[in-house]
Amino acid sequence: MKQPFTYIGKDIKRIDLAEKAQGKVRYTDDTNIAGMLHAKLHTSTEAHANITEIDISKAWEIAGVHAIITGEDFPFPVGPMLADRPPLAIEKTRYYGEPIAIVVADTEQQAKRAAEQIQVTYEPLPIIQSPREAMKKDAITIHENLGSYKVQVEGVHAVPGTNIANHTKIRKGDIEQGWQQSEVMVESSFSFSPADHAALEPRVARVEILPNGKVMVTTSTQGPFYVKKLLSEFFQIDAGNIMVHTPFVGGAFGGKGTVQLEFLAYLASRATGGKLVRIANSREEDMVTSPVHIGLEATVKLGARSDGTLTAAHYEFLFDGGAYSDMGAGMSKAAAVDCTGPYKLEHVSCDSYCMYTNHPYATSFRGFGHPELTFVMERMMDLLAKKLNLDPIQLRLNNLIKPGDTTPTQVHLNASNIGDVRACLQQVKKSIQWDEGQRTKTTDGKIRTKGVAAFWKTSSTPSNATAGVLLTFNTDGSVNLNCAAVEIGQGTKTVLAQILAEKLQLDMNKIHVTIEVNTMYDPHQWKTVASSTTYLAGRAVIAAADDAIRQLLQIGSVALKCLPDDLAVGNGRIYLRDSPEYFIPIKDVATGYKYPNGNTVGGLIIGKGSHVVRHLTPIDPETGFGKPGPQWTVGAQAVEVEYDPTDCTYRILQAATALDAGKVINPIAARSQMRGGMYLGLSWASRETFVFDDQGKVLNPQFRTYDTLRLSEIPTYKVDFIETPLIDGPYGARGIGEYGVIGMAGALANSLSHAADAELTELPLIPELIWKTIKGEV
Amino acid sequence: MISFDLQYFQPNTIEDAINIYEQFISENKKPIYASGGTEIISRARRNEVQPDAIIDLKNIPGFHKCEHKAGKLQIGSAVTLNHAATHSNFPLLKTVIQSIATQTARNKITIGGNLASSLPYREAVLPLLLTDSTIVLATPKGAITKNIHDVFPFNEHLKELELMMEVHLDSKLIKHPHFWIKKTKQSQINYPIVSVAAMHIDNEIRIATSGLTANPLRMKQLEKDILQAVEIEDCLDQIESYLPSPIIDDMIAQSDYRLFLFKQIIKDIAINWKGAS
């Protein structure tokens, strides 16, 4: 029998709806504080050069300047995985747009004017613009002291003397045997340049250092506790003395999962004796100076039997991590551990590298290496299908991974830790009307084609990733939910409230969620990334609710003169299970139960709960053996385009997703989440990229030239969910946040390759690229 | 945010505007006329333009007319693109204008500003080139009228103290059949790789293009070729030799793709026209 739910699985409107719809939300930079100083950066005009002199004398002549800070003021490298990046460039600059100096002044205009007066003398160095160039034996070394950098996270393998910031190796089975079993082989190379996250809200941070030493930070981040952790580690501040406050975040897409401006704002405040200093990115700085979406060059070889059964695969991923490793090192690992996509392969080898180049440095992007690896693998599957003359969906169905199989890092899959990718692929086949033809011609000479992609992803969480929840009760019996999950527009706080409503059987209106995060009041949480919040914080909500219920029953049993076991909690009451008409309202016990004579027992009800991932391990440096993440969410996507062969332009007609969500907690929100993901994936795949000149300068750091998909160009979206419960997920739910993005580039490229009858291997898929591919110029 | 200081003037007469401009020039300073200000604000943020003074023409009544009078469509240079689109009653002008930038930006961008833009595109000029418009210029000695082909592009032909005040064109021409196509890198809202406007007027075809070279062009020789051509293909080979400057090769598109698209558009226009005539 299906368990009936009251709040889970219901289309509940998001709790921040009214504020957002009315424009009443205050984001980080919507606050003007009297006496606040403003910081502006002087950034590098060179992509790779020795800095021989920084002349700040003219900048000091500008009125209102309080401080000018250069790399020498803090000559220590920082970074989340490998500490390789000085917050301000020192001795050399490694990318165009890199921060070189900060000016702090009374007004933003003064700060900007003074920053422009700083004169930097450069001695140009050879510029590396691609990861393959960076790999060459004779390539200039971008980080001469790579061997001396401190490894922050176990499992980052930099190779001193080279441009390799991380090398992850996968060796599963016996690749030679795999090739011998192969009757057909396909090999191809793929590439795309770095791009932007393009969040509407540019990054911004404020820092003040109080006379008692407390460091007060307000910042637009996905990881308030992460900011606290890194500030503490790199600036030797006691963690307890750092407070990080995060209001609503106006879009992040992974780009606010790392720490950059917070370091600079801290240095700026410190240089002014602790004054409150704000640093806010211009759009151009947000695109180029702050970290970007990673680029990739990949070469893949796939072997199969003539019936299409995959036998062996070798992957070489060269990620364009840019000038500093940041989360790029992690993404190169994440792409390696899931390199095969959701397919059964006994013999796998993969060398995945995060390469230093002279591009802006990369950080996490929604999907964390998976939209990237999936583009590559799904193109390979279509190439193989073409070579074998098999239907692309049939080839995939023949090879899908399932319980009983193992992943590239040899994790055994079971009925819980992986979803049903077969059901997803079959659903998406139906949604896109595959059987009506993969390629049809319209009466006006256009070509309509469909392309598919199957995908999977596990979360690359640290092995101690955690979240906590605190519940307090109001005198009206309503509950306050405090949790450090960050609302970045994904609706996480609504979902957490639903889980609590279900547990307490309490109306959603009686649940008050603190949307802002403050590390002083909220329990610790790793970050709001990796599609992990419903799982981590959702489990913490359940634990906290259980804790509160236990207390309510205990006090209730006193009030109702029975045993706690006789009672249940629901509808704002504690009631007798067998006679619900005997009850006491929660409001009468929430702050202590008072007898008629005034005696009171019980005190405050405070529910607490936390959850931590379990049994994760670092992976073996030689074979990749290990458990990288808690579970694999799987799905399939398809795209239909209408292609005009006369000029290689196209329209995206339909995009479909079928995802195994485990349990959908809020269907309308989950569908929106998938639509948003498809939008992001299609925008990236069809038009988003930075354009570099031959000096490594980004030519399009503005929305007038950095193209994104417009509302008038979006396709019809189709979303379906499969529900294979994750046994330890909250109500069976799996992480779904990033997944709408993952298969889009692969599905679009497959669709267009069929349409143009040309094998597209690069992104973004602009008409000119298709034209050149047809002409054989790619 | 604009980091440098500048002076801002909002004169009420053309004479005042020119006087202020002249004053700054005489002091060896850089004045700039403005109305919508979209380009100035966005480029001054990055110090790509650094005027010492902005002379805002919005308050000058003579720059705002948009009407049909004495057989002429007359549009003031400070008329916004959206106003011109809805009030000029010129179908091609409306179509072309509505493909420039966004609705919000078009509420600010003016006809004069678009024609005087530092960007290569300036697409609002295309219908004006096709209709052989005349430009009324304000000068220190009073208004003078010139053929658009003699003064456009402004950056090459206008004298220091000459300022576009109005554009006039024959009202009879506006309802002639037209053709408009804009090819972009991807999103329709992007700058054009190439765009082409054409009109059928008195058994002729008139063609003007933007995006192909540094300035928008009226393609008179090509128009003649198409008129005389037996096979359309024959006209296409000559196109490159008619261009006064190299085909643009930049991040929006490489020159070979630009030329490919242009030829294809011309072919479509020519076939369409041959079919119609």
- Tens of pLDDT, residues A449-481: 999 999 999 999 999 999 999 999 999 999 999
Same domain, yes or no: B73 and B23: no
Q: Which pLDDT band holds residue A175 (cuts at 50, 70, 90)?
A: very high
Same domain, yes or no: B120 and B155: yes
Q: Do A713 and B188 make contact, defined as CB atoms within 8 angstroms?
A: yes
Range in A87-91, A212-216, A288-292, A614-618 with the lowest mean pLDDT: A614-618
Over residues A179-209, the pLDDT tens digits come to 999 999 999 999 999 999 999 999 999 999 9
Q: What span, in angstroms and rounded, lies between the C-alpha atoms of A213 and A435?
A: 67
Q: Which pLDDT band holds residue A573 (cuts at 50, 70, 90)?
A: very high
Q: Do A112 and B42 make contact, defined as CB atoms within 8 angstroms?
A: no
Over residues A700-709, the pLDDT tens digits come to 999 999 999 9
Residue B51: give its domain's CATH number. Answer: 3.30.43
Same domain, yes or no: B117 and B148: yes
Over residues A329-343, the pLDDT tens digits come to 999 999 999 999 999
Q: Which pLDDT band holds residue A4 (cuts at 50, 70, 90)?
A: confident
pLDDT of A444 reads 96
Name chain B contacts of A705, Cβ cutoff 8 Å.
191, 251-252
How many Cα atoms within 13 Å fall on the side-chain side of residue A162?
17
Angle between helix A370-388 and A667-686 (nearest 10)? 70
pLDDT averaged over chain A?
97
Same domain, yes or no: B85 and B187: no
User: Which residues of chain B approach chain A closer than 8 Å at the C-beta?
Assistant: 1-4, 42, 45-47, 183, 185-191, 193, 251-254, 257, 260-261, 264
For residue A288, the one-letter residue type is V
Q: Do B187 and A766 make contact, defined as CB atoms within 8 angstroms?
A: no
pLDDT averaged over chain B?
95
ipTM for the predicted complex comes to 0.96
Same domain, yes or no: B157 and B85: yes
Q: Please give the share of chain A, as a percent, with pLDDT higher than 90.
A: 99
R_g over Cα of chain A: 27
Q: What span, in angstroms and rounded, lies between the C-alpha atoms of A353 and A350?
A: 10
- For range A281-309, the mean pLDDT: 98
**Residue B139 forms part of a structural domain:** yes
Q: Do A687 and B251 make contact, defined as CB atoms within 8 angstroms?
A: no
Over residues A700-743, the pLDDT tens digits come to 999 999 999 999 999 999 999 999 999 999 999 999 999 999 99
Q: Does A691 touch chain B (CB under 8 A)?
A: yes
pLDDT of A685 reads 98
Q: Do A112 and B190 make contact, defined as CB atoms within 8 angstroms?
A: no
Name chain A contacts of B42, Cβ cutoff 8 Å.
704
Over residues A613-653, the pLDDT tens digits come to 999 999 999 999 999 999 999 999 999 999 999 999 999 99
**Residue B2 forms part of a structural domain:** no
The closest alpha carbon to B106, from B96, B97, B119, B115, belongs to B97
Same domain, yes or no: B131 and B187: no
- For range A405-413, the mean pLDDT: 98
* Residue of chain A whose alpha carbon sits nearest to that of B100: A704
Give the number of domains in chain B: 3
Q: Do B183 and A284 make contact, defined as CB atoms within 8 angstroms?
A: no
Q: Containing domain of residue B253, as a range?
A: 178-276
* Residue of chain A whose alpha carbon sits nearest to that of B185: A766
Distances (CA, A) of A255 to A196, A363, A531, A660, B104: 9, 6, 14, 26, 28
**Residue B125 forms part of a structural domain:** yes
Q: Do B183 and A649 make contact, defined as CB atoms within 8 angstroms?
A: yes
The closest alpha carbon to A33, from A218, A215, A246, belongs to A218
Q: What span, in angstroms and rounded, lies between the C-alpha atoms of A433 and A430?
A: 5
User: What pairing do the DSSP bridges indicate for beta strands A466-473 and B204-210?
Assistant: unpaired
Name chain A contacts of B260, Cβ cutoff 8 Å.
771
Q: Please give the share of chain A, as a percent, with pLDDT higher than 70.
A: 100
Residues, chain B, total? 277
Q: Does A107 touch chain B (CB under 8 A)?
A: no
Q: Are A214 and A519 in contact (CB under 8 A)?
A: no
Same domain, yes or no: B93 and B50: no
Same domain, yes or no: B168 and B190: no
Q: Which pLDDT band holds residue B273 (cuts at 50, 70, 90)?
A: confident
Over residues B72-112, the pLDDT tens digits come to 999 999 999 999 999 999 999 999 999 999 999 999 999 99
Same domain, yes or no: B145 and B80: yes
Over residues B143-202, the pLDDT tens digits come to 999 999 999 999 999 998 999 999 999 999 999 999 999 999 999 999 999 999 999 998
Q: Do B186 and A282 make contact, defined as CB atoms within 8 angstroms?
A: no
Backbone angles phi and psi of B202, in degrees to 5: 50, 60
Name chain B contacts of A764, Cβ cutoff 8 Å.
186
Dihedral of CA A713/A716/A722/A723: which sign? positive
Q: Do B187 and A116 make contact, defined as CB atoms within 8 angstroms?
A: no
**Residue B1 forms part of a structural domain:** no
Q: Do B46 and A647 make contact, defined as CB atoms within 8 angstroms?
A: no
* Residue of chain B whose alpha carbon sits nearest to that of A688: B186
Same domain, yes or no: B267 and B187: yes
Q: Which domains are seen in chain A, by residue range?
A: 17-25+465-612 (3.30.365.10), 35-125+200-251+256-288 (3.90.1170.50), 369-461+630-775 (3.30.365.10)
Same domain, yes or no: B159 and B72: yes
The closest alpha carbon to A325, from A154, A529, A532, A146, belongs to A146
Last residue of a domain, one of B23, B40, B56: B56
Q: Does A282 touch chain B (CB under 8 A)?
A: yes
- Facing A768 at nearest CB: one of B4, B190, B257: B257
Same domain, yes or no: B75 and B165: yes
Q: Which pLDDT band holds residue A107 (cuts at 50, 70, 90)?
A: very high
Last residue of a domain, one of B138, B173, B208: B173
Nearest CA distance, B57 vs chain A (angstrom):
26
Residue A123 confidence (pLDDT) above 50: yes
Last residue of a domain, one of B140, B173, B206: B173
Residue A1 confidence (pLDDT) above 50: no
Q: What span, in angstroms and rounded, lies between the C-alpha atoms of B97 and B109?
A: 10
pLDDT of A2 reads 56
**Residue B20 forms part of a structural domain:** yes
pLDDT of B277 reads 65
R_g over Cα of chain B: 19
pLDDT of A778 reads 84
